[in-house]
Structure 1
Amino acid sequence: MSQTEYFTKMSHDKRDPNPFLAIFLDRSIPFNEEAKAAYLKDCSSRSRQFLLPLLRPLARLSIILIQIYKIVLPKAFTSSKRLHQFLYWGMKTFVSADANYMILRHFYLGSEVLQFIRDNVPGIQVEMNPLKPTNLDPIKDDLFLNHDLNLYNFIINLNKELIAKNIDVVKQDHLNFDAITTSPIPIEPMPNRWTNFLDLTTAIECFTPAYQIFLTDNDFWRATNSLQLDETVGILASKIIGTNDRLALINNKHPMVPLTTLRAGFRLVLHGLATEQLHALLVELKHAQDSKLTQSI
């Protein structure tokens, strides 16, 4: 059974309507259908319903305690290599197949969104480092850290080019969609043993303290502050496509107002959804542009 069939074949009880079925059927939010089904199915799991309320307070308490620990021993036990080996092991062993699928999609789509922006600002040259994992193995090669570095380096290098060449980001009448994949992302089947029970949100909340303890305080703050760039990326894309009507659900807001690390896990989920929504919108626009070109021939 495909992910979408989980919802399309679900019965509807008028006296007890399924909230996730309602959200799945709603089309007001741009979202890849398979990914939307995977995410909502993951949200309806027992792990999210029963474990998340118990583990989230403990995870956030851990963040506070680790912050104090980092004041005394700022670089003890820090190792990006150990962090990513731990993340790889944890995702392979405990995280649900749907959650792992959504995490890998995020890296893939994030790379495509940044390349789309670069391709649609004429006159600039920004070197890209696309991350497109199709299985869990690339995690061991600093995948999460490189994802954050890519985002910062892209924003810095893009704006240096814009300033040096006196270029503005403006609406493009004909958009370059070469970077945007419309076919299914070729992600391999994820581990699905009895131990793979953690939903996406609970897994992120649990892994955030590990992220903090294995990174330097500077690296962890930089990683959490990168979430504030959702608004920046959304604004750049809206300028290029000429509308921001369907980008209103970006919730990691003003990039000049960094938040504390305490809610980093929750904000990371919002970050992933913002990327999904923007990429889905670009796919819609690509199909519409291709259709117009076909009709004009």
Structure 2
Amino acid sequence: MDWDDLRIFLAVARADSLSGASRRLAIDASTVGRRIARLEQVLGAKLFVKTPQGYALAPEGERLLPHAEAAEAALSDAREALSGPGDLTGQIRIGAPDGCANYLLPQICARLCEDHPGLEIQIVALPRVFNLSRREADMAIAVSQPQAGRLVVQRLTDYQLHLAGHEDYLRRHPPILTREDLRGHRMIGYIPDMIFDRELDYLTETGADWAQLTSNSVSVQMQAVRTGAGLGIVHDFAIPFCPGVRRVLTDAISLTRSFWLIRHADDRRSQRMNRIADALAQGIRAEVARLQGLITLEGPSQERA
């Protein structure tokens, strides 16, 4: 059995389609299809079932999957054993909610790339939970701890969020001194039926019944706040990127959430993955502390409460 055929099998199993696998492997979809057909012929088994949604694993494919993943892990271990504990190399895909992906990961990953020129980092920013079993990402950052699955879960750091508005918006409206003063203000938040994690349900913290301007993206919400469209709950670590955005009612409305690093259980044996996870964890802790420290240093003039 050819390892390259197994590699293509894994890509199709994780992407659920020939086209998705071809993009990840950088080969054309017709070649992917031919290689899968060849592997099925060699094994004498049907590995996939074509459905309207794409390619689903057949029972034989389900049985092959853990063995293919074990071969993948063994090959990675062999590369590490030969290369030793030097520079990190190869591709790593990190999934994250878009707030973390926009305001934290770019500078953290830039430093990693500087330290390890042979490392290729892909940041996938999606407002939903990642499926590591399908290898949508090699590791993922989440805002709540998963309760099921063969996963390694590590708490990274706490972070703070506050109600905020742009100084132009605040100048145009009466002072906000209590929660009652929020009545009549335009609120910005998540689309209710697209909140993919209960930790993102911020609106109840403000006492507001609804938000007039909503998005499934926290970055879009922050840009709406920055343009003076209203008030919204924002990450403290994002405020330094948005000049003019000021926190309000910091004593009355203050949220604390956590970031979690999630990895597939099989990756615990990989020294390379452990090193990347450690570097990512240290970077996120340091960057959250640095950016939130910038808000603290600005003191009361940053707030209107």
User: Which TM-score bucket, shorter chain as reference?
Assistant: under 0.3
Q: Find the structure with the greater CA-based Rg.
A: 2
TM-score of the superposed pair, with normalisation by structure 1: 0.27
Q: Is the strand fraction higher in 1 or 2?
A: 2
Q: Relative contact order: is structure 1 or structure 2 higher (C-alpha 8 Å, sep ≥ 6)?
A: 1
TM-score of the superposed pair, with normalisation by structure 2: 0.26
